[in-house]
Structure 1
Amino acid sequence: MSTLDCTPATTTPLPRAVARDWMTPLELTVLGAIWGASFLFMRVAANDFGAVPLVEVRLALGALVLLPFLWRSRAQFPRVLWPKIALIGAINSAVPFILFAWAAQRAPAGIGAIANAMTVLFTALVGFLFFGEKIGARRSLALLAGFAGVVVLASSKVAGASIGWAVVAGATAAFLYGIGINLVRRHLTGLPPAAVAAATLGTSALLTLPFAALSWPRHAIPVQSWLSASMLGVLCTGIAFVMYYRLIARIGASRASTVTYLVPLFGVAWAWMLLGEPLTWGMGIAGAMILGSVALSQRATR
Structure 2
Amino acid sequence: MKSISIDNMMKQKWIQWVLILLITLLWGYSWVLMKDALLYMGPFTFSALRFMTGAAAMMSIVWLLRVGRPPRHAIPHLIVVGILQTSIVFILVMYALKFIDAGKSSLLLYSMPLWSGLLAAVFLKERISPLRWGGVGLGVAGLLIVMGSDALSHQSADVIIGEILIILSAVSWGASNVYYRLKLSELSKLQVNAYQMLFGTVGIALVAWMAENGETVVWTVESIYYVLFTGVLASALCFTIWFMLLGNLDMIGATMPSLLVPVFGLFFGWLLLGEVLTVSVMIGSALILSGVFLSSIRK
Residue number among 93, 99, 107 corresponding to 1:106 in the alignment:
99
Q: Is the 8 A contact 1:111 1:283 kept in 2?
A: no
* Paired amino acid for 2:173: Y
Q: Please say if 1:235 is aligned against 2:233.
A: yes
The two structures, once aligned, show a CA RMSD in angstroms of 3.3
Q: Computing the radius of gyration over CA atoms, which structure comes out larger, 1 or 2? A: 1
Q: Is the 8 A contact 2:106 2:261 kept in 1?
A: yes
CA 66–227 in structure 1, closer or farther in 2 if over 3 Å, else same? same
Higher mean C-alpha displacement, 290-299 vs 187-196: 290-299
CA 146–169 in structure 1, closer or farther in 2 if over 3 Å, else same? farther
Q: Please say if 1:221 is aligned against 2:208.
A: no
Q: 1:180 Cα shift?
A: 0.7
Residue number among 182, 189, 194 corresponding to 2:185 in the alignment:
189
The superposition leaves residues 62-115 of structure 1 with CA deviations (integer Å, 9 ceiling, x where unpaired) of: 11111134443334x233321221111111221112222223222222223333
In 1, Cα distance between equivalents of 2:280 and 2:219: 33
In 1, Cα distance between equivalents of 2:103 and 2:167: 13
Higher mean C-alpha displacement, 149-158 vs 177-186: 149-158
Q: TM-score, normalised by structure 2?
A: 0.77
Identity rate of aligned residues, in percent? 24
Instruction: State the partner residue of 2:87.
Output: 94
Q: Please say if 1:58 is aligned against 2:40.
A: no
Q: Structure 2 matches for 1:1-150, cutoff 5 A? A: 28-71=20-63, 72-75=66-69, 77-150=70-143
Q: Structure 2 matches for 1:157-196, cutoff 5 A? A: 164-196=160-192
Q: 1:290 Cα shift?
A: 4.0
* Paired amino acid for 1:208: I
Q: Please say if 1:206 is aligned against 2:202.
A: yes
In 2, Cα distance between equivalents of 1:230 and 1:45: 12
In 1, Cα distance between equivalents of 2:179 and 2:245: 21
The superposition leaves residues 217-259 of structure 1 with CA deviations (integer Å, 9 ceiling, x where unpaired) of: 623425233431232112211133345567789xx54787675
CA 172–289 in structure 1, closer or farther in 2 if over 3 Å, else same? farther
Q: Is the 8 A contact 1:108 1:277 kept in 2?
A: no
Q: 1:53 Cα shift?
A: 1.7
Equivalent pairs, count:
279
Show structure 2 runs of 5+ residues with no match. 1-8
Q: Say which SS state the counterpart of residue 215 (structure 1) adopts.
A: helix
